[in-house]
C-alpha cells in the first residue's frame, strides 16, 4: 500500500503541469490609436502571497501589482461577450495563471456593459484584440518574461466570434438578413428589431476590416456569435487548433445555427464539447448572491445544473487545451 502511494505521488509530480501557488493581478490602460484607451486586466504567476480583493461584484484571491514569476511564459488573450467587460472570465484567467500562463483580458470599447456605441461594428473588436497582443508582447513592462511563440486566445459569444476572426476567419454578415427573415423570433433578430436596426446592416461591412493575427497559435471558442455567418470558405484560413464549446440548452444562440455551423465549416476537426443542461450564460463565472439579485438573467441556471462544478471542469479543460497546443 505504501509503495503504491509513493509511486502515485512520484508519477503525479512528473505528470503535473507547472503550477503557481499565487497569482498577481493588475489593471492597465493601453493606448489605441485615435480611439480612447483600452482597459485591460492581467493575471500572472507570482511568488508573492495573495489575499482577497474585490473585482467589481466578484472577489478574487490575488496579489495586486506583485512581481511576476517565471520566464518564457505562454500568453492567453481573452475576449468577453457582448455587453461585458474584462472581468467576465476572471475565474478562467485565475486558473490559467495558476497553471503558469499570463492571461490578459480587455474591455472591448464600444461593446461593454456601459458602452454599446459600436456593438454593430464587430470588426472593431478584432482590431482591439490585436492591439492587446501588440501591447503584451512589446510594451507591457514584463513582456520579456513572455514567449512570443506561444500565444492563445479565448472568447465567449461576441468574444468567440472575435477570436475566430483573429485566427483567420472571415464572416459574411450579409447572412444576417436571410437568417432573420427565416427566424424572426430568434434573440439576435428580436434584438435588432427592438433597436430599430435594418436586418440588412451586415451588407454595409467595409472592405478589408477583418483583422487576423498569425501570432495566435490556438483558440478556444465558446458559444460564438454570428456562427451562421461563417461558411467553410470563410473558415478556410483557420489553421490553428480550435476548442469549441456549446451549451446544449442555449436559447440565445439556438442549435444548429451557431456552434454547429462553425464546427462543420472548420478545415480541421475541433476539440468539440457539448455541455448538457447548460445555458448560454453558464459559461460565465458562478454568481455571488449580490450579482444574482442584480442580474438574475445571467445568473439563473436550469434546475440541477451546478455552475460551480461545471466551471471547475471547464477551467481544467481550458488549461489542458492550451498546455497541449502551446507547447
**CATH number of the domain to which 228 belongs:** 3.40.50.1820
pLDDT band for position 14 (50/70/90)? Answer: very low
pLDDT per residue over 237-267, tens digit each?
Answer: 999 999 999 999 999 999 999 999 999 999 9
Residue 245 neighbours by CB distance under 10 Å: 23
Burial-class residue 129 by CB neighbours within 10 Å (0-12, 13-18, 19+).
buried
pLDDT per residue over 84-106, tens digit each?
Answer: 999 999 999 999 999 999 999 99
pLDDT band for position 17 (50/70/90)? Answer: very low
Orientation of helix 90-98 relative to helix 307-325, angle to 10°: 50
- What is the percent of the chain where pLDDT is above 90? 83
Largest CA distance in the chain: 70
Whether residue 52 is found in the same domain as residue 182: no
pLDDT at site 18 = 62
Per-position DSSP letters for 109-145, written without gaps between them: TTSBTTB-TTTT-THHHHHHHHHHHHHHHHTSTTGGG
pTM as predicted: 0.92
pLDDT per residue over 201-211, tens digit each?
Answer: 888 899 899 99
80 closest CA partner among 14, 156, 183:
156
Q: Is residue 3 part of a domain?
A: no
Whether residue 300 is found in the same domain as residue 181: no
Whether residue 194 is found in the same domain as residue 309: no
Q: Collect all residues with Cβ–Cβ distance below 8 Å to 69 and sequence separation of at least 6.
A: 20, 44, 45, 46, 47
Whether residue 200 is found in the same domain as residue 228: no
pLDDT at site 4 = 38
Whether residue 184 is found in the same domain as residue 216: no
* Distances, alpha carbon 109 to alpha carbons 27, 60, 86, 216, in Å: 15, 24, 10, 21
Choosing from 208, 227, 254, the residue where a domain stops is: 208
- Range 191-199, long-range pairs (CB < 8 A, 24+ positions): 197/120
Mean pLDDT computed over every residue of the chain: 92
Whether residue 265 is found in the same domain as residue 188: no
For the segment 37-57, the average pLDDT, to the nearest whole number, is: 95
C-alpha to C-alpha distance for 19 and 322, rounded to whole angstroms: 14
Provide the residue range defining the domain that includes 184: 175-208
**Residue with the three cell numbers 440565445:** 252
Choosing from 185, 208, 231, the residue where a domain stops is: 208
Q: Is residue 13 part of a domain?
A: no
Whether residue 130 is found in the same domain as residue 192: no
Q: Which residues pair with 78 in a beta bridge?
A: 105, 154
Whether residue 154 is found in the same domain as residue 279: yes
Whether residue 221 is found in the same domain as residue 106: yes
Burial-class residue 249 by CB neighbours within 10 Å (0-12, 13-18, 19+).
middle
* Total number of domains constituting the chain: 2
**Residue with the three cell numbers 489605441:** 32
Q: Is residue 230 part of a domain?
A: yes
Cα torsion for 62, 68, 69, 75, to the nearest 10°? Answer: 90
Whether residue 63 is found in the same domain as residue 86: yes
Whether residue 182 is found in the same domain as residue 258: no
C-alpha to C-alpha distance for 51 and 291, rounded to whole angstroms: 21
Q: Is residue 7 part of a domain?
A: no
Q: Is residue 2 part of a domain?
A: no
Amino acid at each position: 500500500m505504501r509503495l503504491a502511494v509513493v509511486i502515485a505521488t512520484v508519477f503525479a509530480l512528473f505528470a503535473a503541469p507547472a503550477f503557481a501557488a499565487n497569482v498577481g493581478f493588475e489593471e492597465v490602460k493601453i493606448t489605441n490609436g485615435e480611439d480612447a484607451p483600452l482597459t485591460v486586466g492581467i493575471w500572472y504567476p507570482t511568488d508573492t502571497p495573495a489575499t482577497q480583493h474585490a473585482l467589481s461584484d466578484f472577489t478574487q484571491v490575488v496579489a495586486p501589482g506583485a512581481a511576476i514569476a517565471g520566464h518564457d511564459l505562454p500568453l492567453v488573450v481573452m475576449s468577453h461577450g457582448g455587453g461585458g467587460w474584462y472581468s467576465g472570465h476572471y475565474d478562467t484567467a485565475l486558473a490559467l495563471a495558476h497553471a503558469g500562463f499570463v492571461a490578459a483580458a480587455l474591455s472591448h470599447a464600444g461593446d461593454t456593459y456601459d458602452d454599446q456605441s459600436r456593438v454593430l461594428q464587430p470588426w472593431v473588436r478584432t482590431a482591439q484584440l490585436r492591439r492587446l497582443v501588440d501591447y503584451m508582447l512589446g510594451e507591457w513592462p514584463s513582456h520579456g518574461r513572455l514567449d512570443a511563440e506561444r500565444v492563445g486566445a479565448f472568447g465567449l459569444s461576441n468574444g468567440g466570434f472575435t477570436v475566430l476572426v483573429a485566427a483567420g476567419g472571415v464572416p459574411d454578415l450579409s447572412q444576417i438578413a436571410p437568417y432573420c427573415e427565416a427566424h424572426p423570433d430568434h434573440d439576435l433578430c428580436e434584438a435588432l428589431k427592438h433597436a430599430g436596426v435594418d436586418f440588412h446592416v451586415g451588407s454595409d461591412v467595409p472592405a478589408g476590416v477583418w483583422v487576423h493575427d498569425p501570432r495566435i497559435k490556438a483558440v478556444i471558442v465558446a458559444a460564438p456569435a454570428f456562427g451562421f455567418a461563417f461558411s467553410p470558405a470563410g473558415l478556410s484560413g483557420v489553421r490553428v487548433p480550435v476548442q469549441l464549446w456549446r451549451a446544449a440548452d442555449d436559447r440565445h444562440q439556438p442549435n444548429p445555427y451557431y456552434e454547429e455551423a462553425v464546427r462543420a465549416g472548420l478545415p480541421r476537426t475541433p476539440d468539440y464539447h457539448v455541455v448538457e443542461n447548460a445555458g448560454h450564460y453558464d459559461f460565465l463565472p458562478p454568481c455571488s448572491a449580490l450579482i444574482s439579485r442584480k442580474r438574475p438573467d445571467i445568473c439563473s441556471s436550469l434546475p440541477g445544473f451546478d455552475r460551480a462544478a461545471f466551471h471547475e471542469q471547464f477551467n481544467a479543460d481550458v488549461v489542458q487545451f492550451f498546455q497541449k497546443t502551446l507547447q
